[in-house]
Chain A
Amino acid sequence: AQSVTQLGSHVSVSEGALVLLRCNYSSSVPPYLFWYVQYPNQGLQLLLKYTSAATLVKGINGFEAEFKKSETSFHLTKPSAHMSDAAEYFCAVRKSGTSYGKLTFGQGTILTVHP
């Protein structure tokens, strides 16, 4: 069964600093990988997704993630944090060859941005 591990339940950065949120997956077949963001008291919004077309994926709000098969990782980065990036971020995996679009989520990482 596929699973997702997000390293660090809380990450704190200063405004303007690099954001790095870590995600490792396990899957017996090539996966599809997703990053979602959840702002306070809202639903989840897709940031970006890896669908095997390109290993470096660019998303909304300046975020990007790189799929590294050798490391089974899909870490999320942003060069310069903004106060508006404060939110909870979820990595999710969908095993290719499965039907119905089911996702398995990581535990989430809360990003705090200090002025």
Chain B
Amino acid sequence: NAGVTQTPKFQVLKTGQSMTLQCAQDMNHNSMYWYRQDPGMGLRLIYYSASEGTTDKGEVPNGYNVSRLNKREFSLRLESAAPSQTSVYFCASHSGLYETDTQYFGPGTRLTVL
């Protein structure tokens, strides 16, 4: 039982390049999330998927797109990376059944955009 996994762990991009961050969970959770973490700002929600087949914008969606590929997988795409997208990206999942359930996090992807 791996929980929430993310690939890659580290990535360096040049401005204008594109990339996709991958996330998978093996807990049969309905809901999945993408956050970015910046110093002094906590975690901010980029996009979330309440259930398979649905996605919605979070607090900071500009410059990102997502795909809920199936119940297990939720990817985040940067179409044209900018230095402002240098951050640590976390994927998380939640059962989607009970509000008191815990949200579980992956280990993160550290992205640098030059």
Chain A: how many interface residues by the 8 Å CB criterion?
26
Q: Which of B13-21, B61-69, B93-101 contacts A (4 or more CB under 8 A)?
A: B93-101
Answer whether residue A63 sits at the interface, using C-beta atoms and an 8 A cutoff.
Answer: no
Bitwise, A88-115 to B at CB < 8 A (1) or not (0) is 0010001011111111011110000000
- Chain A's nearest CB lies how many Å from the CB of B52? 13
Residue of A nearest to B29 (CB): A101
Answer whether residue A18 sits at the interface, using C-beta atoms and an 8 A cutoff.
Answer: no
Q: B105 touching A43 by the CB < 8 A rule?
A: yes
- Chain B's nearest CB lies how many Å from the CB of A22? 14
| Contact of B103 (CB < 8 Å), options: A41, A51, A97, A103 | A103
Residue of A nearest to B50 (CB): A100
| Contact of B43 (CB < 8 Å), options: A45, A90, A94 | A90
Residues of A whose CB lies within 8 Å of any CB of B are: 9, 32, 34, 36, 41-46, 49, 51, 90, 94, 96-103, 105-108
- The A contact surface, by secondary structure, is loop
Q: B100 touching A32 by the CB < 8 A rule?
A: yes
Q: B45 touching A46 by the CB < 8 A rule?
A: no
Answer whether residue B90 sits at the interface, using C-beta atoms and an 8 A cutoff.
Answer: yes
In the complex the two chains form, what is the Cα distance from A69 to B43 in whole Å?
Answer: 24
- Chain B's nearest CB lies how many Å from the CB of A50? 9
Give chain B residues whose Cβ lies under 8 Å from the Cβ of A43: 4, 90, 105-108
Q: B96 touching A101 by the CB < 8 A rule?
A: yes
| Contact of B99 (CB < 8 Å), options: A45, A46, A94, A106 | A94
